[in-house]
Amino acid sequence: MTHVSYRSIDVDGFEVFYREAGDRTKPPLLLLHGFPTSSHMFRDLIPLLAESFHLVAPDLPGFGLSALPSRDKFTYSFENLAKVMGRFTEILGLQQFAIYIFDYGAPVGLRIAMAHPERVTAIISQNGNAYEEGLSEGWNPIERYWRDPTDANRKALRDLLTPQSIRWQYEHGVPDVSKISPDGIALDSWYMLRPEADEVQLDLMLDYASNVALYPAFQAYLREHQPKLLAIWGDKDPFFLPRGAEAYKRDLPNAEIRFLDTGHFALETHAEEIANGIINFVKG
């Protein structure tokens, strides 16, 4: 049986919730979730990896059970998310670690890696994009908001925050939706009902443009430091296209690329395949 600990830690005045499992003498693996979820998305993966890794899965600021300070006290930007997560690893004493990056976790993790390349031993990108060709047409309304941040364009994005939209994000591209647990959908929808949670998410959608602007810098980091990288991708993701996974080979010729017959939330249906892929990748 895998023992998972559920903890909170003060990160320079910011409370961060995290899950932890595995022997602390094993190689550390930092699991970074995406939108609109939390570390709960790793609930099936953690037991499958706990014998091989020291696993740490935090909730990003404003997500899950981590602090959700008001927007006048904390600026919700990817730069600030990465700063909090970077300090989180320092306070936990993670001197070197691999990172699992998914969705929003990708720009957070890559910012951490750029700031301290000596700390990141390997990257597992599960639908974690770093190339413009990986962006699908599903980003069009968000890109419209980047170009013209009006109230009308912000309001148009609220449909992405509804329970119906969250369910669609989980189920799109999944051949058998009966394999999707309703728990993650329900939990993500519940978190979205907290005061100001919707505004925080809209702020981050606007700031996502800063990640796209950093894509050349992310790619330069990859070329210079040549980290080991496994891109394991749900190939029917409505947001991040398979071309985004294949593009890693441009900067990392030795990158391993694998596709799974599923959608964005690949862990919901393919946790065992992803776990085996990670274990073989690290051993290889």
d(CA 242, CA 128): 11
End-to-end CA distance of the chain: 27
d(CA 181, CA 174): 12
> What is the spatial order of strands in the sheet that 256-260 belongs to?
4-11, 14-21, 54-58, 28-32, 97-101, 120-125, 228-234, 256-260
225 noted as active-site residue: no
Whether the Cβ atoms of residue 49 and residue 282 lie closer than 8 Å to each other: no
- Closest listed residue to residue 104, CA positions, set 211, 17, 180: 211
Whether the Cβ atoms of residue 15 and residue 42 lie closer than 8 Å to each other: no
Q: Please report how many Cα atoms fall inside a 13 Å half-sphere around the Cα of residue 6, on the Cβ side.
A: 7
Whether the Cβ atoms of residue 111 and residue 29 lie closer than 8 Å to each other: no
- Catalytic residue (one of 40, 54, 264, 270): 264
* Cα 193 from chain centre: 21
| Active-site residue list | 264
